[in-house]
Structure formats: C-alpha cells, structure tokens
Amino acid sequence: MNMEFLYGKIHRATVTDANLEYVGSITIDKSLMEASGIMVNQKVEILDVNNGERFCTYVIEGAKNSGTICLNGAAARKVQKGDKVIIVAYASMTVEEYKNFEPKIVHVDENNRIVQA
C-alpha cells in the first residue's frame, strides 16, 4: 500500500511578490528548489503562517539565488507580499520505501537564503 509522506519542505519563506495577472502557480528560486528536492510542475501545498490559508498549486522555476517566492494567478489572492509561507511537497511511497527515505527540509532567512538544509 502507498501512503503520502513528506518529500520536501521550504520552511518560513517570505513571499516576495503576488502576481494576479499570471496564469497560475508559485515561482520558487531555483536554489531553494534544488535544496528541497522540489521540481518544476510538481504539486505543492502552500501554508500561509500569517493568515492560515492552505492551498495547492504547481511550481515554476525562478532565477537561481534570487530569493524569489512569488504566488501567481488565483493564489496571489491568498497571500500578501511579506507573508511567511511553508511550501510542502509530498510523495507517494510504501512504508518500506519511507523507512529508507529522508525528506529534504530547507530553512531560510528573511531574504529566502538557505540557513539550514
């Protein structure tokens, strides 16, 4: 049986922009994607620490080392620039697979620079 487990997380990132006019998704700095294992077009859950919103979207790649965390399209209505968010990705695996798996958790500073990975 497969179950959903934590795959990767970017903890308490700061929203740098909210672009209502974009088609949809979240733009994430490529260096944060690489460190967390989160991939382009992957489904992620966004948890807004400031307002309690929880919603899903997909990932597009932002410029490496830019610090970009930008919610696009309809998701831009759920956050404000400066909000703290937790970006979570899950993976479906068996319990046996998970026993040998270590999720990638990335902590960032107020500028979305990696402080612990």
Catalytic amino acids? 25, 58
> Which residues lie closer than 8 Å to 47 by C-beta, 6 or more apart?
53, 54, 85, 86, 87, 88
* Cα distance between residue 49 and residue 34, in whole Å: 23
Phi, psi (deg, nearest 5) at residue 83: -60, 150
Question: Is 22 within 8 Å of 73 (Cβ atoms)?
Answer: yes
